[in-house]
Amino acid sequence: MQNRDFFLTKMELKIAIQGIKGSFHHQVAQQYFQSEVALDECMSFETLVKSLKEKKTDKGVMALENSIAGSIIPNYALIDYNNLHIIGEHYLDIHMNLMVLKGQKIEDIKEVHSHPIALLQCAVFFRDYPHIKLVESGDTAETARRIQQEKIKGIGAVAAPIAASLYDLEIIASGIHTVKSNKTRFVVVKTQNKELPKEEINKASIKFELEDTPGSLATVLNVMNNCKLNLTKIQSMPIIETPFQYSFFVDVVFEKYKHYEKAKKVLEIMTTHFKVLGEYKRGDQ
């Protein structure tokens, strides 16, 4: 049976994103699908997952890690617990900008609202403006929209340039993120993983658990190395039911699917629990 997306034009695809139009998730959806798509704007990642599971949307876009702030660990758990499948990834250069209702200067701004990760990435910039109170919100673009809709003065938003354009705000400070090489890795998720032929797959995300014995993790890593897999990410998470035991979330890349397939068969035997979270094509960094 052919993938149902074969019969859908890009405009007919409905994509769940965290946030609203003008958010970084919106930007990724545009770039990854290379066109405007119908959006389900979700104000939390939990709502995004619900949208997919209730079949309101075909695919979802989720941020998974940032080069400054690190991994968004709850999203690993959401993907795993809800049996979602990673079918693709996209790396986005993040440009943080301070934007306000037109005609204001930075001295006029008493508060800046944005997503906590965005504020964290701009912490050094705001040290020079101790009069500004930083307030966490659910989404970068949502504050930008609210400022314009309610004509709010004295409050700024930290968001992407697309938000300033969409909501007609003025950028009074651009590129305010601390580390200028600032990238976020987003994944595209779906309730089923039938997307690409094996020949096009060169990356996989897996999860496994191990017996609490000396050298067990080292042995697993040796298997990956011997099977010509390059480990690009390893993230541990505690197993709630078993104190001081951990699950490992791992990303691997490979030149040939058969090398990964061989490793997968061995790891299924060696681990106490093994799960494939996604097999997909590696995104450009």
Please list, in sequence order, all residues whose beta carbon lies within 8 angstroms of the beta carbon of residue 101, skipping any fewer than 6 positions away: 147, 148, 151, 152, 153, 169, 170
Positive/negative CA dihedral, 142, 103, 27, 34: positive
Structural domains in the chain, CATH included, are: 4-93+182-190 (3.40.190.10), 97-173 (3.40.190.10), 198-280 (3.30.70.260)
pLDDT in tens, 11-55: 478 999 999 999 999 999 999 998 778 999 998 999 999 999 999
**What is the pLDDT averaged over residues 172-196?**
91
The answer to whether 62 and 15 have CB atoms below 8 angstroms apart is no
Which pLDDT score, from 0 to 100, does residue 7 have?
45
Which pLDDT score, from 0 to 100, does residue 182 have?
87
Positive/negative CA dihedral, 152, 156, 158, 163: positive
pLDDT in tens, 136-169: 998 899 999 999 999 999 999 999 999 999 999 9
Q: 182 or 230, which is more confident? A: 230
CA distance 87 to 24: 19
CA distance 25 to 22: 8
The answer to whether 208 and 251 have CB atoms below 8 angstroms apart is no
Residue 168's H or E segment, with its range, is: none
